[in-house]
Structure 1
Amino acid sequence: MDWFYKFPHMDDEALRLLKRTIDDSFRAFTRAYGDAIGTVFSPLQQFLNAADRFMTQTPWPIITLIILVIAWFATRSARIVFGCLVTLLLIGYFDMWEDTMRTVSMIFVATVLSIAIGLPIGILMARSNRVQRIVNPILDVMQTMPSFVYLIPVVMLLGIGKVPGLIAVVIYAIPPMIRLTDLGIRLVDKDVLEAADAFGTSQSQKLFKVQLPLALPTIMAGINQTIMMALAMVVVASMIGVQGLGQPVLRAIANQYFTLGIFNGLAIVGIAIIFDRVTQAYGKRLQKHREASHD
């Protein structure tokens, strides 16, 4: 009766052969094309370095002022702007400014990439049910795969450094951007689309002048979720050389430095709250503007 308790599975030798074949094939691919792929990502490396230099080498009062101005124009809320100011001052006071700015530059570049890649895919999904059926299972896998797993292929292809970490962050963070772009466009009122067709608008005009503006609050929610997921991935990406707040947290875990881990963890929470409040408030403003124009 032993067979009744054991799940039927592939023969052990066949399973080892299959795993070895896949591993050897991937290693051969990385040896053959790793350098070429690294060259393709060199502009990304330059963009990331430029963002890093700007955030770390610009005097802190200027960076603080830029963030507060962005927060004000996005939210029109003195309370949120004051909260941003207090958070940034505390981060600087506890000597975490440079690591925080490195993390912010990584999140900024990851968010820009996620928007640049995710927005067109979301638009394609909204315009084609077939594309949606193909992409949705891929997004399901991306969202349920443990974050550590993303580090394995990028490290094998590109080694250790900022760019592999950035790619892992983007892969982990991009699904909400794609899903909510698709959802936002699909939720646009059919009567509005019929009115646009009646006025003789082309497909591109209908997309850029009707669908995307009306879907913008939902797309902003996607950007918000992408930023939150990117921040969650930063600590994991520090394992492969991504500088920022993740590395002190990793060092605190390895050496059991309680206060180092807590302080840098709170800095990550502070940055997450700033991004979350600003993007949410901007999304609500867009929603109110859309409802007002609808009335």
Structure 2
Amino acid sequence: MSFDLYRFSPGAYLAPAVDWLNMNFHPIFAAIASFIDTVLSAIEGALLHPPPYVVIALAVVLTGFLVSFRVAITTAISLAFCFLAGFWAASMQTLALVSVAVVISVLIAFPLGILASRRKGFDAAIRPILDIMQTVPPWVYLIPAVIIFSLGRVPAIIATIVYGVPPMLRLTTLAFNQVPKDLLELGQAIGARPRSILLKIEIPSATPTLLVGLNQCILLSLAMVVLAGLVGAGGLGAEVTRGLTRMEMGLGLRAGLSIVAIAILLDRLSRSALQRRNLADVS
């Protein structure tokens, strides 16, 4: 007796749906791919056109003036390491890709997280979806992205966004649920508008948890960028893949440490920028 009739294959149902989307919405997907590729090319061009020492010096001056001296030192060390490791171009490509992916992920997850904290029904509805998104192996996201957008940077950034949204959304919801009720009642008692309560009370109170969500989003996006090197995304992910295929430990280690340097840089910049904004809003 054959048990083939009792087997369940999700791909048998999802593949036709992806093919249908690809055939009927190809102009929309092409426009999305063109927009993302244009933004990435512009950022990469701005980072790679000047000499590396000019970019490093400018980044250190800007972070020292706009953020803090400590972050400026971190910026100098991180970028100098990427340059001395011989991966300046790949590091700038990864920095551009991760920055765009994290910004889009936050723009999607932050308002949805606020909505989930205010509407329990919506929170209950999206929770199973987030569980699935965080449980499915990350490289699985690359398959439909490659089918729709072909090989290159665009499917990599789409898959990175899908992988980076769940942790930011979950922790945004948690952050706003943990805001003390007495502070909200105080804001309502003095007649503050909902927008003022959100900007002056809720976001500053939720900042520590929001920073954890942003950190997780950055780290998971960087992890996904490494896997995206398998689909021709370039950057440090391609260097890690090259080191793996050639069994060159030195190449893989240098590329991996460069990814760590980029992760530290993005984390310190985002953390300091958000904290300075909240201090400015409170004052």
* TM-score, normalised via structure 1 length: 0.84
State the match for 1:58 in structure 2: 50
State the match for 1:7 in structure 2: none
State the match for 1:44 in structure 2: 36
Quick one: which of 12, 30, 54 aligns to 2:22?
30
Quick one: which of 234, 239, 247 aligns to 2:230?
239
Could you tell me whether the CA contact under 8 Å between 1:107 and 1:230 is conserved in 2?
yes
Name the CA distance, whole Å, in 2 between partners of 1:160 and 1:177: 27
State the match for 1:267 in structure 2: 258
Structure 1 residue 210: Cα displacement: 2.3
Aligned-pair identity in percent equals 32
* Code of the aligned partner of 1:141: I
Could you tell me whether the CA contact under 8 Å between 1:253 and 1:261 is conserved in 2?
yes
Instruction: Rate the CA distance shift 1:107–1:115 in 2: closer, same or farther, 3 A.
Output: same
State the match for 1:218 in structure 2: 209
State the match for 1:158 in structure 2: 149
For residues 107-256 of structure 1, what are the structure 2 equivalents within 5 Å?
107-256=98-247
Could you tell me whether the CA contact under 8 Å between 1:51 and 1:109 is conserved in 2?
no
Q: Deviations over 1:89-111 (max 9, x none)?
A: 23212321111011001111111
The reply on whether 1:91 has 2:82 as its aligned counterpart is yes
Name the CA distance, whole Å, in 2 between partners of 1:17 and 1:185: 39
Name the CA distance, whole Å, in 2 between partners of 1:162 and 1:254: 20
Aligned residues: 282
Name the CA distance, whole Å, in 2 between partners of 1:19 and 1:147: 16
Could you tell me whether the CA contact under 8 Å between 1:48 and 1:109 is conserved in 2?
yes
Instruction: Rate the CA distance shift 1:154–1:210 in 2: closer, same or farther, 3 A.
Output: same
Name the CA distance, whole Å, in 2 between partners of 1:182 and 1:259: 42
Q: Deviations over 1:97-128 (max 9, x none)?
A: 11101100111111110111111111111111
Could you tell me whether the CA contact under 8 Å between 2:168 and 2:217 is conserved in 1?
yes
Instruction: Rate the CA distance shift 1:40–1:107 in 2: closer, same or farther, 3 A.
Output: closer
Name the CA distance, whole Å, in 2 between partners of 1:49 and 1:189: 44
Q: CA RMSD in A?
A: 2.8
Name the CA distance, whole Å, in 1 between partners of 2:272 and 2:10: 51
Name the CA distance, whole Å, in 1 between partners of 2:217 and 2:10: 35
Structure 1 residue 47: Cα displacement: 1.4
Who wins on radius of gyration, i.e. which is larger? 1
Name the CA distance, whole Å, in 2 between partners of 1:29 and 1:154: 12
Name the CA distance, whole Å, in 1 between partners of 2:245 and 2:80: 28
Could you tell me whether the CA contact under 8 Å between 1:217 and 1:286 is conserved in 2?
no
Instruction: Rate the CA distance shift 1:16–1:200 in 2: closer, same or farther, 3 A.
Output: closer
* Code of the aligned partner of 2:254: F
Could you tell me whether the CA contact under 8 Å between 1:217 and 1:283 is conserved in 2?
no
Could you tell me whether the CA contact under 8 Å between 1:84 and 1:274 is conserved in 2?
yes
Q: Deviations over 1:13-32 (max 9, x none)?
A: 45378754543343233223
State the match for 1:6 in structure 2: none
Gaps of 5+ in 1: 1-9
Instruction: Rate the CA distance shift 1:11–1:214 in 2: closer, same or farther, 3 A.
Output: same
Task: Please say which of residues 105-114 and 83-92 is displaced more in the overlay.
Answer: 83-92
Instruction: Rate the CA distance shift 1:190–1:153 in 2: closer, same or farther, 3 A.
Output: same
Q: Deviations over 1:197-238 (max 9, x none)?
A: 112223333223321233233222211211111111111011
Could you tell me whether the CA contact under 8 Å between 2:207 and 2:275 is conserved in 1?
no
